[in-house]
Amino acid sequence: MPDSDAPETPDDQPTDPSVADRARTVLSENGTGMAQDLLFALAWVGLASILYDFVFPTAPRWVLYMFMLAGIPAYFGFFISLEIAKERSAR
């Protein structure tokens, strides 16, 4: 027996978008930026791990965490300098 209190939606009215639809929209709008962010994060974590494991093998664990934290200003510095370089080359 159907719930009589639930409002019926006609077929021509759009319903809430599904998770897949929302993900598709977000990726189409921000796909390149998200890919750049992911690539930078993977490269930074890889570099920090290699430095910690092979260059500084006797360092305490907090050194790895400092390398990881240094990725935050490195990220912003890299992308800000990239924008400045794009502006200068466009002139």
How many CB atoms within 10 Å of residue 79?
A: 14
- Which pLDDT tens digit goes with each residue over 25-84? 877 777 778 888 889 999 999 999 999 999 988 989 998 899 999 999 999 999 899 889
Q: Which residue has the tokens 């998200």?
A: 34
Number of domains observed in the structure of the chain: 1
**Residue 5 falls inside a structural domain:** no
What six digits make up the tokens of 36? 């750049």
**Residue 25 falls inside a structural domain:** no
Q: How far apart are CA 4 and CA 87, in angstroms?
A: 61
Query: Which residue range forms the structural domain that includes residue 72?
Result: 31-90
**Residue 40 falls inside a structural domain:** yes
**Residue 61 falls inside a structural domain:** yes
**Residue 23 falls inside a structural domain:** no
What six digits make up the tokens of 50? 């290699």
Q: How far apart are CA 45 and CA 67, in angstroms?
A: 9
**Residue 20 falls inside a structural domain:** no
**Residue 17 falls inside a structural domain:** no
**Residue 64 falls inside a structural domain:** yes
